[in-house]
Amino acid sequence: MPHHPVGHRAAAAVPAAVPAAVPAADEPGTRLTSPVRLPATAGPPRSGGRGRAGWLRVDLGLFIGAAGLSLVGVVLVWSATRADHGSALALKQLVAVLVGAAAAVGVTRLDVRVLRALAPLVYAAGVLGLAAVLSPLGSTVNGSRSWIRLPGGFTLQPSELAKVALAVALAMLLADRADRGLRQRHRDVALAWVVAGVSVGLVLAQPDLGSALVLVAMAVVVIAAAGAPRVWTTGVVLAGTAAVVAAFTTPVLSGYQRNRLAAFLDPSLDPQGIGYQTRQVRIAIGSGGLTGQGLFEGRQTQGGFVPFQETDFVFSVAGEELGFLGAVGLVLLIGFIVVRCCLVARRADTFGRLVVLGIAVWFGVQAFENIGMNLGLTPVTGLPLPFVSYGGSSMIAGWVAVGIVGNVASASARR
């Protein structure tokens, strides 16, 4: 390409062939400057996390934390069940981890606008699942009709998937006015509580008090964060207090669940049932000491003294075999995931902020309830420890939620 130094005057006649990077003068006598560089044309934004650049925007720390916690859970489930089932339940749990992780990758690659548009369908699917449990399709275990049996020995627990559905649905309902900086109207908040109330009511009908409490906590935080008038939050807290009183004084819960609550207050009321269960859990955790008795070496765990240890009381496996340090490490991993969710929520738009806050509350409240009932601080409600307890529905739902958080993080990084 010919070089045109600054200050060189172009000839009056335009040359027959002009290099593409050098524009011809509009008229004789015009000074030519350095070649003009045209900006590259940017294509349409890619959805969710597609492409190498998209994956770099995903919160990898969140995915690594969830993967590490899930693998620890598989090992703890194996330790709790190997005496009776060998490696069968641990392998089923590992399959659930892989399916959940694949689902999370798929959700992360969605355009966040597609996720927002699918919210009504996701919510409808969640409600249909909860209704199906109460139909002849449902199966009753320990006084709670919460499962649907599937071929191959698998079961589905719709209340876990309903948590994903509620987080997405509430965010979709309340994000529009908040996006425009408008205060939520009473009818908008009322509609949001109707949406939450349908899910909570169907879960209580099973009855599943633990999942209902998680759903209520999610709804309170998401609706309050969306700018709802304080009178709604105050009213819901009072109504929740009344519901707890009713749980103790009326037959809204099954006899099995009322016994659990009563045994929490006084374990001597059921020394061979719930009282025995909670006492064995505390013995297991207390005998772990600082560093534990060693993986696959816990006397309570390997002796099968703790009922439902792979589900409700998997934390006691960590306490006994990994000790105080291992149990604290487990709590820190869960806390890390909750904190990462909160950090993603701070950088997100309104829809992303609300849905991720709902997920953070879900993980945090459920972990608090599960660990609390292992330590004797909260009643035994049957809630699984996220990413750790045995159960495919809980594992897959948790990973789908991680995918949603990753999707929001990727969308926030592109803005």
Check residues 40 and 96 and name the one with the higher pLDDT.
96
**pLDDT value for 269:** 64
Q: What gap in Å lies between CA 91 and CA 78, rounded to an integer? A: 8
pLDDT above 80 for 215: yes
Which residues share a beta bridge with 31?
9
pLDDT band at 48 (very low <50, low <70, confident <90, very high): very low
Q: What is the mean pLDDT of residues 328-332?
A: 96
Q: What are phi and psi of 76, to 5 degrees?
A: -65, -40
Are 115 and 124 within 8 A, CB to CB?
no
**pLDDT value for 247:** 67
Are 339 and 305 within 8 A, CB to CB?
no
Report the candidate in 321, 395, 324 with the shortest Cα–Cα distance to residue 80: 321
Sequence-distant (6+) residues with CB within 8 A of 189 are 223, 228, 229, 232
pLDDT tens string 334-379 = 999 999 999 999 999 999 999 999 999 999 999 999 999 999 888 8
Check residues 4 and 401 and name the one with the higher pLDDT.
401
Q: What is the mean pLDDT of residues 375-392?
A: 90
Q: Is 152 left (phi over 0), alpha (psi -120 to 50) or beta?
A: left
Which residues share a beta bridge with 140?
145
Check residues 258 and 290 and name the one with the higher pLDDT.
290
pLDDT tens string 114-141 = 989 999 999 999 999 999 999 988 888 7
Task: Give me the percent of the chain exceeding a pLDDT of 90.
Answer: 54
Report the candidate in 364, 332, 355 with the shortest Cα–Cα distance to residue 409: 355
**pLDDT value for 360:** 97
**pLDDT value for 248:** 66
pLDDT tens string 161-202 = 999 999 999 999 999 887 777 788 888 999 999 999 999 999
pLDDT tens string 56-92 = 456 788 999 999 999 999 999 999 999 989 999 999 9
pLDDT above 90 for 271: no
SS3 139: strand
pLDDT tens string 13-47 = 444 444 444 444 444 444 344 444 433 433 444 44
**pLDDT value for 184:** 83
Any long-range contacts for 146-155 (C-beta under 8 Å, 24+ apart)? 146/206, 146/208, 146/211, 154/92, 154/392, 155/392, 155/393
HSE (side-chain half, CA atoms, 13 Å) at 77: 27
**pLDDT value for 27:** 42
**pLDDT value for 45:** 40
**pLDDT value for 325:** 96
pLDDT tens string 230-269 = 888 888 888 878 877 776 677 666 666 666 666 666 666 6
Where helices occur in 208-294 by DSSP H, the ranges are 209-225, 230-249, 255-265, 274-286
**pLDDT value for 214:** 95
pLDDT above 60 for 106: yes
